[in-house]
Amino acid sequence: MPKRYQVAKAHVVDSLGDFSEQIDVLVFDRQYSPFIFTFEGQTIVPAESVYAVFEAKQTINASLVSYAQKKVASVRKLHRTSLPIPFANGTYPAKPPIPILGGILSLESEWSPPMGEPFAKGLAADGDLGRLDIGCIGSHGHFVDCGLPPV
């Protein structure tokens, strides 16, 4: 990955001083919001830099999916800002914040079948803020449901 993009176990902070829960795998961009810091051994990333958040578990079941959805929601609910970007001939308007992808990563599934209808119902249980868009269950497969309009 280019150095512009990084992955870390981190907390996310917004400009109002609110923090997310600790995120196992945070994908973020340092180019437009390079202020990343460490406090008492914890990495802190500004909300404007975040592209994706993932919860990582050995196995997943209904309660762990719900837990992951709460972690994703703790980032998506944060306030994100955007400013105009000055350049040599003027200023580009502020970019709207991009949607943050949320996901789960695990080795196993406790559902039977591992990626069947009960699993799909478990993913749909938490609404938009906690939606899990993408995931991988190492021994069974992956899912993608970004819920975003086609580009």
Confidence of residue 149 (pLDDT cuts 50, 70, 90): very low
Report the catalytic residues: 24, 55, 57
| Strands of the 141-144 sheet, one edge to the other | 37-39, 42-46, 5-13, 23-29, 50-60, 101-109, 134-137, 141-144
Tokens describing residue 112: 């039977």
Spatial contact of 56 and 24, defined as CB atoms under 8 Å apart: yes
Question: pLDDT tens-digit profile of 93-135?
Answer: 998 888 999 999 999 999 989 888 888 888 886 678 999 999 9
- Distances from the Cα of 80 to the Cαs of 13, 44, 92, 133, in angstroms? 9, 15, 18, 20
- Nearest 5°: the CA angle 8, 71, 151 is 80
Mean of the pLDDT values across residues 77-93?
A: 92
Confidence of residue 151 (pLDDT cuts 50, 70, 90): very low
Confidence of residue 146 (pLDDT cuts 50, 70, 90): low
CA separation for the pair 101, 51 (Å, rounded): 6
Question: pLDDT tens-digit profile of 11-69?
Answer: 999 999 999 999 999 999 987 676 777 888 889 999 999 999 999 999 999 999 999 99
State residue 31's pLDDT score. Answer: 79
